């Protein structure tokens, strides 16, 4: 049952990322308008983004709802009805709540664009905390059915963003409050030109990692998803730490580049190099003590092979190394090479299938995940240095 829920959570990520990059495009544009003091354009782009998100999610929701109600969900998840009797209802509940959250989550991008990433992270943390507390209450009251666990885990983020909406647009930023009269579809289309590049990068990320749960369930067994996810969640603590520390550099870079302050970007890059070296040490230490942490965390409920933890540490570090440069490139809108590098995501699934069929070993599956990230890292490093040194031309500049 746990493996089925983890696989469902991966599918929900697809819904979360279907904003065609509007959220990231919004944060970039807001940072530019804030640097120039243009409140009118800022409100217009916020209103237009919310309208576009609503238009995107409604048809997706109805298509998924029909597919869930009419399709064979048990065959899709490779499980049996007697093991998960409420699967269809749980799926519909999850898709409904995640779709509603999809519209509201642009609030986090507003805070990012206004260079207040801590608030955006706080909203996410509150949502996850509510989900955790709700799940804990279900277990201690002996009401932890599959349907209720899925509903509680998707309800938490929705409640967090619902409360954040009036606090954001009536208390903190009333000048940015979305209104019908400020919706401008031409503005949305212009934002979409930038956003579609972010969207493709998001989709590539999903293909390379978030589909891994589904692929592991299909190539191996649903039970194998659990140790894989435990290893990921343990090692990704460092990834979260890195993201919280480095996320402000994205929009700060947008602001600095708009003001032509290249010296600030160079100094920030040095700090990022130092922090990335520290992250390597932390991951190595985390890997070394993992057997004891797993024993304390999950006891004998699940065995996580040490080799799986090592491969996950390598994968997480490669993600961090790529992100270290992409935050700066995203901040200045230099996305085209990153988009081209996502061709590796396209070959990920057939390569993973071939390697898994030959080796029947999940460690080789994870090695494919690592390999598919290498070209993007190399291109990010070269492009970043060219832009910083003023030698970027043609495709290296876009």
Using the predicted structure, report yes or no on whether residue 262 has a pLDDT greater than 70: yes
163 in the same domain as 224? no
114 in the same domain as 162? yes
pTM of the model: 0.65
User: Are the CB atoms for 26 and 46 separated by under 8 Å?
Assistant: yes
Q: Average pLDDT, stretch 211-237?
A: 81
Of 248, 322, 250, the C-alpha closest to 279 is 322
| Residue 192 within any structural domain of the chain | no
| Residue 198 within any structural domain of the chain | no
Output the pLDDT for position 315. 92
- Tally of domains in the chain: 2
Q: Which of residues 183, 203, 237 is at a domain's end? A: 183
313 in the same domain as 386? yes
Output the pLDDT for position 126. 92
| Residue 197 within any structural domain of the chain | no
Q: Average pLDDT, stretch 219-223?
A: 76
Number of separate helices (H) and strands (E) present in the chain: 18, 0
Output the pLDDT for position 390. 77
| Residue 199 within any structural domain of the chain | no
Cα angle for residues 132, 212, 341 (degrees, 5° grid): 115
362 in the same domain as 234? yes
243 in the same domain as 141? no
241 in the same domain as 179? no
90 in the same domain as 26? yes
306 in the same domain as 390? yes
Domain limits for position 159: 1-183
Of 312, 267, 261, the C-alpha closest to 286 is 312
- Mean pLDDT across the chain, nearest whole number? 81
| Residue 337 within any structural domain of the chain | yes
Q: Which of residues 133, 164, 183 is at a domain's end? A: 183
219 in the same domain as 125? no
CB-facing half-sphere around the CA of 221: CA atoms within 13 A:
6
156 in the same domain as 15? yes
| Residue 191 within any structural domain of the chain | no
Q: Average pLDDT, stretch 220-246?
A: 82
Higher pLDDT, 186 or 48: 48
Tokens representing 173 are 């930023």
| Residue 193 within any structural domain of the chain | no
175 pLDDT band (50/70/90 cuts)? confident
Using the predicted structure, report yes or no on whether residue 260 has a pLDDT greater than 60: yes
Using the predicted structure, report yes or no on whether residue 152 has a pLDDT greater than 60: yes
Residue whose token pair is 């696989």:
7
351 in the same domain as 276? yes
Output the pLDDT for position 314. 94
157 in the same domain as 276? no
In angstroms, what CA-CA distances link 194 with 77, 116, 185, 333, 366?
35, 22, 15, 8, 32
| Residue 331 within any structural domain of the chain | yes
């Amino acid at each position: 049952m746990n493996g089925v829920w983890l696989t469902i959570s991966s599918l929900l990520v697809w819904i979360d990322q279907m904003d065609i990059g509007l959220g990231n495009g919004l944060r970039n544009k807001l940072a530019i308008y804030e640097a120039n003091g243009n409140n009118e354009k800022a409100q217009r782009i916020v209103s237009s983004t919310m309208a576009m998100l609503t238009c995107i999610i409604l048809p997706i929701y109805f298509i998924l709802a029909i597919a869930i109600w009419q399709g064979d969900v048990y065959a899709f998840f490779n499980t049996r009805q007697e093991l998960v009797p409420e699967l269809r209802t749980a799926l519909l509940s999850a898709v409904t709540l995640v779709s509603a959250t999809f519209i509201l989550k642009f609030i986090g991008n507003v805070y990012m664009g206004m260079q207040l990433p801590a608030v955006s992270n706080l909203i996410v943390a509150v949502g996850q905390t509510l989900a955790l507390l709700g799940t804990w209450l279900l277990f201690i009251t002996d009401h932890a059915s599959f349907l209720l666990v899925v509903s509680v885990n998707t309800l938490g983020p929705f409640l967090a963003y619902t409360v954040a909406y009036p606090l954001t647009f009536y208390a903190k930023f009333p000048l940015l409050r979305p209104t019908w009269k400020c919706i401008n579809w031409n503005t949305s289309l212009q934002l979409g030109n930038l956003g579609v590049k972010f969207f493709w990068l998001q989709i590539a990320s999903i293909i390379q990692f978030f589909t891994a749960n589904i692929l592991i369930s299909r190539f191996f067994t649903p039970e194998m998803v659990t140790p894989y996810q435990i290893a990921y969640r343990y090692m990704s603590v460092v990834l979260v730490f890195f993201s919280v520390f480095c996320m402000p550099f994205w929009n700060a870079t947008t602001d600095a580049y708009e003001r032509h302050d290249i010296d600030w970007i160079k100094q920030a890059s040095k700090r990022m190099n130092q922090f990335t070296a520290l992250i390597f040490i932390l991951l190595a230490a985390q890997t070394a003590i993992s057997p004891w942490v797993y024993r304390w965390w999950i006891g004998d409920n699940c065995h996580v092979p040490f080799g799986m933890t090592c491969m996950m540490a390598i994968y997480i570090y490669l993600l961090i190394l790529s992100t270290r440069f992409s935050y700066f490139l995203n901040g200045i809108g230099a996305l085209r090479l990153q988009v081209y590098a996502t061709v590796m995501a396209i070959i990920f699934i057939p390569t993973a299938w071939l390697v898994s069929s030959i080796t029947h070993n999940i460690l080789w599956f994870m090695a494919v995940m690592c390999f598919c990230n290498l070209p993007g890292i190399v291109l990010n490093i070269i492009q970043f240095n060219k832009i910083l040194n003023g030698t970027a031309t043609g495709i290296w500049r876009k």
